[in-house]
Structure 1
Amino acid sequence: MKTAKTSFAIILITSLFFLWGFALNLNPILIPHLKKACQLSDAQSAFIDSASYIAYFLLAIS
Structure 2
Amino acid sequence: METEPQMMRVRISPTLKAWLREQAKQNCRTMNSEITFRLEMARMGIQQKGRETGAPAAGEALQA
TM-score, with structure 1 as normaliser: 0.41
Structure number having the greater helix percentage:
1
Q: Which has the larger radius of gyration?
A: 1
TM-score, with structure 2 as normaliser: 0.40
